Amino acid sequence: MAETEQPQIYLVTPPDFELSTFPDALARVLDSHDVGCIRLALTTRDEDRIARAADACREVAHARDVALVIDSHLMLVERLGLDGVHLPDAARSVRAARKELGEDAIVGCFCGTSRHDGMTAGEAGADYVSFGPVGATALDDGNRAGTDLFDWWSKMIELPVVAEGALTVELVAQLTPVTDFFAFGEEIWQADDPAAALARLVAAMR
């Protein structure tokens, strides 16, 4: 990525949300910022609930020409008219997802802090890899994806990379030269005004 090019925004939905209010909140964020992609990342296993959430988010996203991918649920992509899938299992299912969805679908892959998994995912056909968490969090094993990982990736690998997990204004400023996307989720949705919260993070990229 060229030094002068600002990273794109990749939104991650909350793990649960009210269908009556979230689509409007999402629309306000999309109308106030250029967003490259949205990930529907619900924790529920209720297929009907996922389908209704996907329908609502797809309507908002596609009206604004923004791609919508779903976390994990490969078999729902085509059924729900989505643009692709985000796989949370490092590189293990990238090849199968690409075969299932075809060349035009977006296949992304979360690779934790592993450079090796990222390269494997790229070789298997991923459109992007994401590393994280980049910020301090007590979740998972406590490992963090450091600036050195993104710096190495941006110099050595052409595949787009996403920074995600516990992002702060300071981390955004630090990683802007070495990442292609920032994935913002709870960082903005927990705020009273998600669009304003996103504006603060975007300002740190400049």
What domains are defined for the chain?
8-203 (3.20.20.70)
Query: Quick check: 130 and 108 in contact, CB under 8 A?
Result: yes
Looking at 5-161, list the stretches that DSSP marks H as alpha helix, in order from N- to C-terminal side.
22-32, 47-63, 94-101, 115-124, 147-156
| Region 181-196 average pLDDT | 97
Q: How many Å apart are CA 76 and CA 58, to the nearest integer?
A: 13
The answer to whether residue 1 scores a pLDDT higher than 50 is no
Percent of the chain topping pLDDT 70 = 98
* Count of alpha carbons within 13 angstroms of residue 151, beta-carbon side: 4
The answer to whether residue 126 scores a pLDDT higher than 80 is yes
pLDDT tens digits, one per residue of 38-65: 999 999 999 999 999 999 999 999 999 9
Query: Quick check: 127 and 107 in contact, CB under 8 A?
Result: yes
Is pTM, for the whole model, over 0.85? yes
Query: Quick check: 139 and 109 in contact, CB under 8 A?
Result: no
What b/e sequence results for 32-59 when a residue is b if at least 16 CB atoms lie within 10 Å of its CB, and e otherwise?
ebebbbbbbbbeeeeeeebeebbebbbe
pLDDT tens digits, one per residue of 74-118: 999 999 999 999 999 988 899 999 999 999 999 999 999 999 999
When the pLDDT of each residue in the chain is averaged and rounded to a whole number, the result is 96
Q: How many Å apart are CA 159 and CA 4, to the nearest integer?
A: 18
| Region 169-181 average pLDDT | 98
Residue from 8, 73, 76 nearest 38 by CA: 8
**Which residue is associated with the tokens 């802007």?**
176
In 10 A of CB 162, how many CB atoms?
A: 27
**153's tokens:** 């990736």
